[in-house]
Amino acid sequence: MDQYLPEKVNINGEQFRIYLTQEEIQQRLKALGDQISLDYKDKKPIFIGVLNGAFVFLSDLMRYVTIPCEVDFLKLSSYGDEKVSSGNVTDLKNIDANIKGRHVILVEDIVDTGLSMNYLFKKLKQFGPASLSAATLLHKTEATHHEVELKYVGFKIANLFVLGYGLDYAQEGRNLGQIYILEE
């Protein structure tokens, strides 16, 4: 399948270059999928994807998971069109699934300050899951100052703005098949 994999991307006058290739991402996802399949054997986990950004990552990750599993989504307020977090989180869409007694894996595209993940952990724990863990494709380790427990991390990355593979800048770039980083 031909994917959208340009060398450079320009959005709103900002230039981005390739940071993680399609191959690197898929290899890592395969390893994560194998690990999750082992860790959750006979537990039928339910993945909860955080919209909009996590939909591409989750859709690929799930297909490397070789045990029965389910999926649902929730949505938080986004960055708007900015490159820095507003520092507020509000719910835009809640989960439909009943997760009481279930093994839940929360799936984010990227953990930056950790605010969203920290908020979602507290929120989902209130529903009484049997277990709750988190997976993120990217983790900006230096930027994270809220307490987060990340069981599955695709890549630890620098504290720079990235896009592609589900991540956007002003809603653009989600269809890129790999991850791009802002040129300094």
Q: Is 110 in the site for ligand IMP (CB under 6 A)?
A: yes
Asked if 134 contacts 106 with a C-beta cutoff of 8 angstroms, the reply is yes
Identify the residue among 33, 45, 49, 114 touching ligand IMP (CB under 6 A): 114
Give the footprint of ligand IMP on residues 41-80 (CB under 6 A). Answer: 50, 53, 78-79
Q: Is 179 in the site for ligand IMP (CB under 6 A)?
A: no
Identify the residue among 36, 106, 150, 167 touching ligand IMP (CB under 6 A): 167
Which stretch, 9-17, 20-28, 55-63, 158-166, contacts ligand IMP (CB under 6 A)?
A: 158-166
Give the footprint of ligand IMP on residues 75-104 (CB under 6 A). Answer: 78-79, 85
Asked if 116 contacts 108 with a C-beta cutoff of 8 angstroms, the reply is yes
Tell me if residue 25 falls in helix, strand or coil: helix
Tell me if residue 40 falls in helix, strand or coil: coil
Could you list the beta-strand ranges (E) of the chain. Answer: 8-11, 14-20, 46-51, 70-76, 91-93, 103-111, 131-139, 152-156, 162-163, 179-182
Q: Is 113 in the site for ligand IMP (CB under 6 A)?
A: yes
Contacts (Cβ under 8 Å, ≥6 apart) of 122: none
* 78-87 LR contacts (CB < 8 Å, sep 24+): 78/52, 81/170, 81/171, 83/161, 83/169, 83/182, 85/112, 85/113, 85/115, 87/113, 87/115
Q: Is 162 in the site for ligand IMP (CB under 6 A)?
A: yes
To ligand IMP, the closest distance from the beta carbon of 1 in angstroms equals 24
Which C-beta is closer to ligand IMP: that of 99 or that of 167?
Answer: 167
Please report where in the chains the tokens 């031909």 appear, as a residue.
2
Q: Which of 34, 60, 96, 112 is catalytic?
A: 112
Measured distance CA(55)–CA(32) in Å, rounded: 16
Decide if 81 is catalytic.
no
Q: How many residues bind ligand IMP (CB under 6 A)?
A: 19
To ligand IMP, the closest distance from the beta carbon of 111 in angstroms equals 5
Active site residues: 112
In the complex, the residues that contact ligand IMP under the rule CB under 6 A are 50, 53, 78-79, 85, 108-117, 161-163, 167
